[in-house]
Every structure is written in structure tokens, then in C-alpha cells.
Structure 1
Amino acid sequence: MFSNWYKKFSSQPHQPFFTSGIIFFILFMTLFLFSYLGFLNLDKSILSYHAYSMIFVIFIQFFLGFLFVVFPKFLSQAEIKVDNYMKLFHLYLFSSLGIFLSLIFYSQVTIIFQVLMFIAQILSFKLLYSIHKKSIVANKDDTKWVLISFFSGLISHALFIISNFDFNYSHDLARFSINAGFYLFLFGIIFTISQRMIPFFTKAKVFTYIVNKSKNLVLIVFSLLALKVILLSFQNASINLLADVPLFIIFVRELIKWKLPLFKVPAIMWVLYLGLYWIPFAFLLSILESVFYLVNTSFIFEKAVIHSLALGYFLTVLIGFGTRVILGHSGSTPHASSFAIVIFVLVQIVAFLRLFASFSINTNLDYIFFLNLSALLLICGLIIWSIKYLTILLKGK
């Protein structure tokens, strides 16, 4: 019985990787919540148990599940063999579990599992690169930029592991690696996939839609993100304008050019559009933060910019893509039922609540209460989504 289930469960790359991603998303968010509620006393900084886990453990597993499906299709290559991606899945699973448990019980050995996670990501990069290299298709730009973003992630991950050793600039190195991992690794991969797949899905739904993307869009965006990561290292909010203003202008201009038919597509599509609209909103917030800094106000933005992108963009697109892929590859027609729409709306509520928590630090309101509330609602939303869609993943095809 088990062998029959395992064969179905492992038959498509997204099934094991989405399953691991959603389970560890819930577990690490619970770890975060319990830490802030005082139920757990973690001796690691928030960079280690929250930022690191989101960037290098959780989101990447979701998008690897997607990449292992679409990379061969993009490049007209044979599907990845089950044994190849399942070996990686087992290494990701073991590393993720090791990081999670060691943070709770014995954080001195967390670095061992981080190194194992790093090795898993090197092997994942190697697998994707081998597919890219073998392909003879004329246009390999999108897969090239996925690989460049992934390689940036390997460098930032290595820097974070090095920062575990106590030396004069270890905290600065950790912060730099998190910024690079967030913008160049995660944002780079997710945006490259988004600008390829969202217009493609739109064209499939609205036959009259014309894809109108700017030339060298990903190159320009990635270059400006690299500049932003460098500027963030100076911890001077005002100079962030050098990257944020052009990024804001580019994304506003691009979304206007795309003319996404928001009211002509079903909910399974408009949720992806909503994710894209969060991008210029986040960079607008970053611009305002710099302006407030320049005029010497005491107003604090906390992590509003990061969470606008992480919850508003990354999570919205993840839920949108995830729901579509799970339904499509299980034999069902990709659509958003009333259940899915409720989850989409809940994600937006959680994103805005987390922003409210960031800004509440400037008032007499209880910042920690709203922080915990947003985390609790996110966990509930992930569990509710899992009740339906994790069941489909576990059944396999």
C-alpha cells in the first residue's frame, strides 16, 4: 500500500516539494508566533529562525517544485526523472526538519543542517543548469535569469552560513546575505517566472490579449535590485532612492504596458495580477521611507517594505500558481472556487494587517499584538488552504 501511494506521490515534482513547502511554512510560522508569545525561548536571532527559513528553506521549495515541472518544457527537454528530483526532495526534507528541530532544542548544530540545505540547493542548481545547457532552443533568456538568480542565492546562502561564526562583521554579513537572498534570489526567481507565465496564462484565457513586455526587462530589474542590495548595506535610507525610484517607475510603466484584463479573466488569474500590483506599491513605500528619513521625521516603517513583497507579492503569487498547478496536474480544470477566492482574499487581509502592525509601532497601539495576530491569521490561512489542496497533493496522480 505504501509503495503504491509513494509512487503516486512522487510521480510529479510539484507534489512532494509543494507538500514539504506548505508543511514547513506552517511549522516555521508557528515557531515565530510561539517565540513572540513567549512559549519558546530561542537563542538565535530573528534573522536565523524567521528570515533565513523563509528565504532559504520555504519559498524556494515551492518554486523548485514549479521549476522542475516547467524548466524542461521551457527548454524542450525530457521530463526530469523521478529518482533525480526525489533524491533532492529527501535532502530538502531532512535539512528542513533538522533546521526546525535544532532551533528549538539545540541551536549549536543548526549550521550542520544549513550546510546540508546549501548542498541540496547546489545540486538543484546543477540539475537545472544541465537542462539549460543541453537545450538548443533559440530563446533561453528566462531560464538564464532563473539560473542567475539561483546562483545569487547560492552565494548569499554561503555568506549567511559563514556569518554563523562569531567575528567582528558577522551580523553585517548576515544582514547583507538576507537582503541579497530576498531581492536577488527570491524576487529574481519569482519575478522571472511571473513575467513569463502570467502573460502566457492571460493569452490562454483572453485570445485577443497582446503580450507587450519591454525588452531586457529582467536584466534592468535585476541590475537595479543588485544596486538596492548594495545601498541597503550602508543603512542610510535616503540613498535607497537611487534604486527605488527607477524600480517604482519601471514597474508602474510595465504594468500599464501589459494592460492586464483584470475583469475579463477568472479569479485564478486575477489573484496573480494582484500579486504583481503589490510590487510598485512596495517600492512606493520604500520611497516614502527614504523621504521621511530625509526630512528627519521619527516615523518608523519597520519591515513594511519587506512584508509588502513577501506577503503581498511572493505569497499571493505562490498561492495563485500553487492552486493552478495542483488542480491542472491532478486532472481538474484550473479554476478558483469560492473556497479558493476566500483564501486569496485572506492573504490580502494578512498582508495589510502586517503593514498595519509595522505602522502601529508609531502609535500607542500594541505592536506585538498585531504582529502576533497577523502571524496567527497567516497560519490559519495556510492550514485552511492545506485542508483542500494538501489532500490533493498527498493523494498524488
Structure 2
Amino acid sequence: MHMQFSENSDNNYFFSQPHQPFFVLAFVNAIVTMLVFLLSYKGYLHLALSPTNFHIYGLTYLMFTPAFLGFLFTTFPRFASTDAIVKKRYMRIFSFLYLGAILFLLGSIVSPILSIIAMVLVFSAHFMGYLILKNIYHTTTMEDRHDIFWILLAMGIGLLSHFLFIMAQIFYMPLMGLSTEISMYIYLFFLTFSVAQRMVPFFSHCIVEKNNRLLKIVFSLLILHILLEGTHTNSSFIVDLALAYIIGKEVLRWKLPFPNTNPLLWILHISLYWVPLGFLLGGLTNFILLISDVHFLALDTHSIVLGFVFTILIGFGTRVTLGHSGNIMHADKWTTLLFYWTQVVVAMRILVSLTSAFGWNIMVLFDISVTAWILMFTLWAVRFFPVIIKGIKLT
């Protein structure tokens, strides 16, 4: 993860647009943190954090957060019709994230204190990113600020979950459950869904009347989900089933042109179909767990975070990379294969949960699912890092 931050000509292009350094950092972190998690889970590495907490922090704040910031720093000013974010401002945030990621990985292996310092650095970057988006929200002259309000709110609540994670590590570990619930449902899911419900119908040329109550209803139900989980674990199943119905009905109302011949579109459509399916699986597995002792190894969160958030991250990330590098907005065979592979990653992880529920040995499947994940990000990097770092034109 060694990079030169000097202003020489080689990396002037790399740092010229915010999504470029942030995407590279996010994707490198996706590979490294998962590799460390695999080694710790199998007992080859002893971490300062528990393997599960390392896994949650690594993916939520070292992978998804830089990817979110890179995407929003590029698109948020466009949403709000304001000036682009100046390089100096996003580079400061990138430097904090980059340094924080290295120290977190080192600290997790060497020293708990170092990993706490790293988390504070990453949190500071997260906070500065939020302030930039908040400033854009308050300076826009657009009358319709509906979507950007919800995106900003989700980012702000993501800060709260981040803060709770750090407090759990330092002072009071029971806060970890609340931090995880908030980060999964309000931060990762709701922020992504707020962007998706605006962008996917637009990209798909679906002219439907906008449902301005949708985000308010979904947000309220997600808060109820978190409150119920805090009161009695797995009691949120009824809310999950309601979310599956409401979001499923809404996605069908959009009449997305699926199946579609354009991979850059169908990857986005598939991710959206995962939302009601993910909540349905979550509702059913939580209900089963409530009345029995069958454990599904976080099937609910993984079907939503992988099925929806991860899938759409790859879809949107590829679109932004192609569109902002002067490349043709076209998915070649390699890119199409990567899009198919996202679903292999999702299916493998769901299989791990189902195997666990039956009480079978999951370790071989677990290894395969982690390998599928690492392969996904490695192949994406091989294909698109030259585009992001040097502005290479794909043939």
C-alpha cells in the first residue's frame, strides 16, 4: 500500500478526481482486511480485536466508507448543482483514511492502542467528509433537496455508528451490538438505497412518478428494526418482512427493463432485487431463530450488505470509473464476467450461512467464499486500476 503523495506528473492524474484515490484505497482494503480476517478466523493470526469486530470495522469503515466518500464527492455536487470539491480538501481526507488504514492493520496485529489511534484517524476523515457534504447541502440553491437530505442524514448516522464502535472498543463492549445494527441498516443499507432509488430508475430511463414518502417510510422502519433488536434479539422479523413487501412493491412499480442486454444496467437491477429478498431472508431466519436454536451466521446482514450494497458498489464503481475517464460506457466480456462473479460471491456467503444452520462444517465453504471475494476485487483492480491511476483507455 505504498504511495507517493508528491505532486509529480505520474500521480497528478490519479489524484485529479476524488473517486480515483478513494476507490483504490477501498478496493485494496477490501482485499487486505479480508485476508487478515481469514487468517485470524482460522487461528493463524492473533488480533487485538476479535476477528468478527475486525471484520465489521475493516469492511464498514476501511472499505465501504472510502468508496462512499469517493462516489459522493464526485456525484453530490452534481446532485446539488454546486461547484466540484477542490482537490486540497478531499486529499486531506484521503491522507487520513490512508494513514488510518495502515495503522489499523498494523495495530490489529501489534497493539490495541495503535488500532484505537487508527480508528480515531479514520473517524476524523469520516467526519470531515460529512462536513463537506453538509456544506454542499446548505449552499445548494436547488429547491428539491429531498434525496440529498436523506443521503446526508444516513452519512451523519454512519458517523454515530462509527463513534459507538470506538467507544465500545475503549470503554463498554456491549455498545458493539448497537453500533453494528446502526451501521448495517442506516449507514450501509439506507445510504446506498437513498442513492439507488434516485439513480437506477434514471439510468434505466424509467419514467415513473417519484414516491417522496418511500425514504421516510423505509427510514422509520429501519429505526424500528434497531429498537426491536435492542429490546429483544431477532424480534425485528416482522419489520424485515414489512420492508421486504414495501420495497419489493416499489421496485416492481418502477418497471425496470430487466432482463436487460446491457450489463451496466442489469447489475444495478439485480442489486435492487436483492433488497426485498434480503429482508425476506432476514425476516424468516430471525423468526426461526426466535422460536428455535438454529443459527444462520448473520445471513440477514450478509444477504443485504453483499446482495445489495456490494453488488451495486461494483456496478456504480464501474460506471463512475468508465464515465469519468473518457472511456466508452460499455461493459466488455471481462467486466461482464466480473458482474456475474459478484453473484457467485453473494451465493457462496449465503451458502456458508445455510450450511451453518444445518450444523455442518463450514470451514471449506468459508475458505471458498473468502477466496471468491478476494478474487473479485483483485480482478477488478487488474482491469480498472490502470484506468483510475493512469487514465488508460480500454480497447
TM-score (norm 1): 0.94
Per-residue Cα deviation, 1:295-348 (whole angstroms, up to 9, x for no partner): x33332221111111211111101100111111111011221111111111110
1:364 Cα offset (Å): 5.6
Please point out which of 367, 383, 390 is paired with 2:385.
390
Equivalent residue for 1:276?
272
Per-residue Cα deviation, 1:77-114 (whole angstroms, up to 9, x for no partner): 11111111111111111111111111112223211111
Q: What residue identity is the alignment partner of 2:318?
A: T
Partners of 2:349 and 2:327 lie apart in 1 by 34
Equivalent residue for 2:150?
145
Q: Indicate yes or no: 2:199 matched with 1:197.
A: yes
Contact preservation (8 Å) 1:76, 1:135: yes
Please point out which of 13, 16, 23 is paired with 2:21.
16
Please point out which of 184, 191, 208 is paired with 1:182.
184
1:2 Cα offset (Å): 6.4
1:293 Cα offset (Å): 3.4
Equivalent residue for 1:123?
128
Please point out which of 241, 244, 248 is paired with 2:244.
248
Contact preservation (8 Å) 2:41, 2:51: no
Matches within 5 A, 1:1-397: 3-166=8-171, 170-203=172-205, 209-237=206-234, 239-294=235-290, 296-363=291-358, 365-396=360-391
Contact preservation (8 Å) 1:75, 1:132: yes
1:290 Cα offset (Å): 3.2
1:371 Cα offset (Å): 1.3
Kindly report the root-mean-square deviation, in angstroms, between the aligned alpha carbons of the 2 structures: 1.6
Per-residue Cα deviation, 1:139-189 (whole angstroms, up to 9, x for no partner): 0111111111111111111111111124xxx23211111110111111121
Contact preservation (8 Å) 1:25, 1:58: yes
Partners of 1:2 and 1:135 lie apart in 2 by 31
Tell me how many residue pairs correspond in the alignment: 387
Q: Which moved more, 1:299-308 or 1:22-31?
A: 299-308
Per-residue Cα deviation, 1:214-234 (whole angstroms, up to 9, x for no partner): 232111111111111121223
Q: What residue identity is the alignment partner of 2:294?
A: F
Partners of 1:33 and 1:241 lie apart in 2 by 30
Instruction: Classify 1:301/1:41 alpha carbon distance in 2 versus 1 (closer, same or farther; 3 Å).
Output: same
Contact preservation (8 Å) 2:26, 2:66: yes
Contact preservation (8 Å) 2:288, 2:294: yes
1:251 Cα offset (Å): 1.1
Larger relative contact order (C-alpha < 8 A, sep ≥ 6)? 1
Q: What 5-or-longer segments of structure 1 have no aligned partner?
A: 204-208
Instruction: Classify 1:10/1:396 alpha carbon distance in 2 versus 1 (closer, same or farther; 3 Å).
Output: farther
Q: What residue identity is the alignment partner of 1:372?
A: D
Contact preservation (8 Å) 1:99, 1:114: yes
Partners of 1:101 and 1:74 lie apart in 2 by 38
1:264 Cα offset (Å): 4.2
Query: What secondary structure, in the 3-state scheme, does the structure 2 residue paired with 1:260 have?
Result: coil
Contact preservation (8 Å) 2:237, 2:284: no
Q: What 5-or-longer segments of structure 2 have no aligned partner?
A: 1-5
Instruction: Classify 1:245/1:363 alpha carbon distance in 2 versus 1 (closer, same or farther; 3 Å).
Output: closer
Q: What residue identity is the alignment partner of 2:317?
A: G
Q: Which moved more, 1:1-10 or 1:115-124?
A: 1-10
Equivalent residue for 2:3?
none
Partners of 2:133 and 2:7 lie apart in 1 by 30
Structure 1 runs of 4+ off > 3 angstroms? 362-365
Contact preservation (8 Å) 1:213, 1:254: no
Contact preservation (8 Å) 2:297, 2:357: no
Instruction: Classify 1:94/1:177 alpha carbon distance in 2 versus 1 (closer, same or farther; 3 Å).
Output: same
Contact preservation (8 Å) 1:36, 1:372: no
Partners of 1:137 and 1:256 lie apart in 2 by 29
1:33 Cα offset (Å): 1.2
Partners of 1:215 and 1:79 lie apart in 2 by 27
Partners of 1:173 and 1:122 lie apart in 2 by 20
Contact preservation (8 Å) 1:275, 1:312: yes
